[in-house]
Structures are given as C-alpha cells and as structure tokens.
Amino acid sequence: MHAAIALQVGAGQFRVGGRHCSAAGSAAVRRRDHGDGARKRPWCRNSEFLLALAAALGKTPGGAPEIAALACDTDGIDGTQDNAGAIVYPDTIERAAAQGIAIDEKLAQNDGYGFFAALGDLVVTGPTLTNVNDFRAILILPQSRAPKSRDG
C-alpha cells in the first residue's frame, strides 16, 4: 500500500503540499512458516516492511528512481537484531541484483536483515534506552532531482 501511495504522489495524482509520506507504530508484516523453523529465526519488522516496499517498487515499470525510504525503531533495536532499521535507496533493487540477491527470495524467507546487511543499508544506532515508536518515512523526489544511487 505504501508503495502505491508513493508512486501516485510521484506521478502527481494527489494534491499534496509535500513530497513525503510518514507513519508511526509497529509495522505489521507476514511471517511465513515453511516448516523448517523459519518462524523461530531472528527477524526485524522495519527491515521486513522496507523489503516488501522495495519489492513492490521494483515491480513498477521503469522502477521507482525517485523514491527513498527509512524505517527504524526508536529504541535502536528492530525486532531481535542489532539494527534499528534500514534504508531503501532509489538504486536498492539494482544493487541487490548486481550482487545476485533475489529480493523475492529474501522476502519469502522473512530475511530483511540479511538483504539490507548485504547492501550495507542497515541503520545501526545501538540501544537508545527509549522506545517512543517505530517510524517510517518515504521521500518522493521530483524525477529531475532524484539521485542515481545512494552515493549521488
């Protein structure tokens, strides 16, 4: 749903003053049970949310070069791992493909942490000792200003 909203904002289908979407609260994600103990593996809701967002954006014809997103937990711990969350850059799908990482496979394995760790896109702050909320933000850049990569 967030991917669809971001794409519609980017296409000018909404009258909005800003070019971002934000949300707070624990992300709801689907954990899959493949009978191999996958439900017992460590997992991260914010990283999983971003993995699903990136997968949806990647299915868009031409990709979504104008969209970047962040999802983090304010306590510095996303689920059971050492990261607060992760970042999706406009070139996330391309960089994953260049490394031979199949986004749909990682999504089916509930492995957002592994996906973003391989790309170097985890946000690791360490414990903050406060837990205000999970936070998600999606930035929709005008296409003429969209960076080609996370380094751009």
100: domain range?
2-140
Cα 27 to Cα 48: distance, rounded to the nearest angstrom: 9
Give per-residue pLDDT as tens, 102-125. 999 998 888 999 999 999 999 999
pLDDT the model gives residue 87 = 93
In a domain, 148, yes or no: no
Consecutive H or E run containing 105:
helix 103-108
In a domain, 14, yes or no: yes
Give per-residue pLDDT as tens, 13-38. 555 555 666 665 666 556 556 555 55
In a domain, 150, yes or no: no
Q: What is the four-CA torsion angle of 145, 150, 151, 152, rounded to 10 degrees?
A: -10
Cα 126 to Cα 112: distance, rounded to the nearest angstrom: 18
Residue 35 backbone dihedrals phi, psi, to 5 degrees: 75, 5
pLDDT the model gives residue 121 = 96
pLDDT the model gives residue 38 = 53
